[in-house]
Amino acid sequence: MTACGAIRADSLERVKQALAQRDVIPVYVGPWGPLLATLQPRVLVDARMRKHSAPEVQRDFADFTIGLGPDLIPGRHADVVIETSWECLGAIVMAGAALPLAGEPRELAGHARDRYVYAPLEGVFHTKARIGDVVNSLPSREPPRAMCSSQEGVSWTTTTNTGGER
């Protein structure tokens, strides 16, 4: 199996470099307008899963759009919607709507909300861990023993946090 990595792309130039390499996926962390104007994509996958924001209409951003997250309606917000709720995770929604946000995290190994660690203050987070690395403890908080698992969702070594974010 050939794996493809992802890199954080803070600039349009970095996105273009990554796309030219054809061996990594750039994860762009800037405003959409300049990105879309520069790339003019034929297909757009919006995987931001902005669960606490009202769904945005994405259909004009590319010839074919795929949206992930709650409350998205295929044909209105995106051409196709991928379900992100635990009840139907990964289902392709072609009609109707994706399920609304359920509110609380699903319980795993007896833990729900306590599985998440929130930033206590604004700052820059540095890590040497990569997606898939085993994380057994955190500097300021010991995780529940049953929840020691792989790190998910951190795909770069530095990120800015405004406090209160996961």
Query: Which H or E run contains 44?
Result: strand 43-46
Q: Do 36 and 51 share a domain, yes or no?
A: no
Range of the domain at 142: 113-161
Model-level pTM greater than 0.85?
no
- Domain boundary among the residues 61, 82, 102 is at 102
Residue % of the chain over a pLDDT of 90:
30
Question: What 8-state DSSP symbol labels residue 111?
Answer: B
Q: Do 73 and 117 share a domain, yes or no?
A: no
Q: Dump pLDDT digits (tens) for 66-114.
A: 999 899 999 999 999 999 888 888 999 999 999 998 877 888 888 888 8
CA–CA dist 22, 6 (Å, integer) = 11
Residue 77: count of CB within 10 angstroms of its CB = 21
Q: Do 49 and 61 share a domain, yes or no?
A: yes
The owner of tokens 């009609």 is 95
- Domain boundary among the residues 73, 102, 131 is at 102
Is the per-residue pLDDT at 120 higher than 60? yes
- Give a yes or no: residue 166 inside a domain: no
